Structures are given as structure tokens and as C-alpha cells.
Amino acid sequence: MPVPEGTTIRYARREDVPTILQLINELAEYEKELDSVEATIESLSNTIAFAPSPIITAHKTTPSTGDAISASRPARAILIFNPAGEPAGLALYFYNYSTWRAKPGIYLEDLFVRETERGHGYGQALLGELAKEVFEMGGWEVGVECFEVE
């Protein structure tokens, strides 16, 4: 299912941390685990490898330096925004490695689309972005485990 025209998908930037935390809390509430959330603005800011943020000056916009994946910043996030520019969902993931295949991959830790935004293809679009990233890095899979919510 194609997403609605005007949908934006992009890597999370440092200024997105409050949105990421809000989506994590909504996911935890959906899973009936809100009391288990320990993530904070500070902890997310210190552990996600962010994409560059544009630096806007009077006459031009230039990208800032993003964060590299590292032992202290092992996670990446992709956000999807509806045509109105409101956050619709999130894919939070990290890189892994297959010793047998000697190839990199991605492990999808969490995929969440807000309840009000479901049915528009946003989850499929986020998975597609991860698949594209794996393909571009010469990797072999996007790993994920699913659970059942009553």
C-alpha cells in the first residue's frame, strides 16, 4: 500500500528526541508496559546515533555532523510523518552481523505506528526503508521478533 502523498520518512535527528520518547511511551502504553519505560530525553540523546541536522543561517542551510554508530550509540531511528507533518510512527533499530554469512544486517527493536495513523501503509514504508538500507550496505536481512497483544 503506498503511503499518502506528502508523507515524509527520514532518519531521526537530535531535535526529534522528545518525539521519539513520546512514541516510545505510546508503544509501551499499547503493550500495557508504560511503568517499565526507563528511557528519558537524556538517555535517548546519549544512545541514539542521529542523522545530521540542518544548520540554518541568514543566507544558507548546511548540514551539521551526524553521530556515528558506536558502542555508546548503538541505535538508529527512522521517523515517518503524515502529510500534515505530524509524527506517525517510528522504527528503532541497530546493526548486527552474521558470522556464517560474513554480512551485516539490521535488527528491528521496535516498529510503532500511532493507532490513529494505522491503515495508511506507514509500517510497511518503515520496513521498506530498513530493507533498502540493508540492501545498500550489502547486508542480508532485517531481523525482527513479534509479540502478541490481547
Render pLDDT for 33-65 as a digit per residue (tens, 0 to 9): 999 999 999 999 999 999 987 655 555 545 556
Which phi and psi angles does 47 have, rounded to 5°?
A: -125, -10
Which residue did the predictor score with more confidence, 61 or 89?
89
The average pLDDT across 16-38 equals 97
Q: Is residue 77 included in any domain, yes or no?
A: yes
Predicted pLDDT at 61: 47
User: Which amino acid does the sequence have at 76?
Assistant: R
- The 3-state DSSP class for residue 84 equals coil
Residue 148 in any domain: the answer is: no
What is the residue-averaged pLDDT of the chain? 90
24 within a domain of the structure (yes/no): yes
Say if 123 falls within a structural domain. yes
Tally of domains in the chain: 1
Domain of 21?
A: 8-50+65-143
Question: How does 26-51 read in b/e, with b if 16+ C-beta sit within 10 Å?
Answer: bbbeeeeeeeeeeeeeeebeeebbbb
Lowest mean pLDDT, pick from 25-29, 52-56, 96-100? 52-56
Q: In this structure, what CATH number is given to the domain that contains residue 91?
A: 3.40.630.30
- pLDDT (average), residues 102-109: 95
Is pLDDT at 105 greater than 90 in this prediction? yes
Q: Hey, what's the cell of 137?
A: 550496505
Of 1 and 140, which is predicted with more confidence? 140
Give strand pairing partners of 112: 90
Give a yes or no: residue 32 inside a domain.
Answer: yes
**What's the predicted TM-score (pTM) here?**
0.87
| Position 56 in a domain | no
Whether residue 20 is contained in a domain is answered as yes
Q: Which of 92-96, 127-131, 139-143 has the lowest mean pLDDT?
A: 139-143
Higher-pLDDT residue of 52 and 82 is: 82
Return the pLDDT at 2.
87
- 98 Cβ partners below 8 Å, 6+ apart? 104, 105, 140, 141
Residue 27 pLDDT > 80: yes
- Provide φ and ψ at 18, rounded to 5°: -60, -35
Q: Is the pLDDT of residue 31 over 70?
A: yes
Decide: 8 and 48 in contact? Cβ < 8 Å.
no
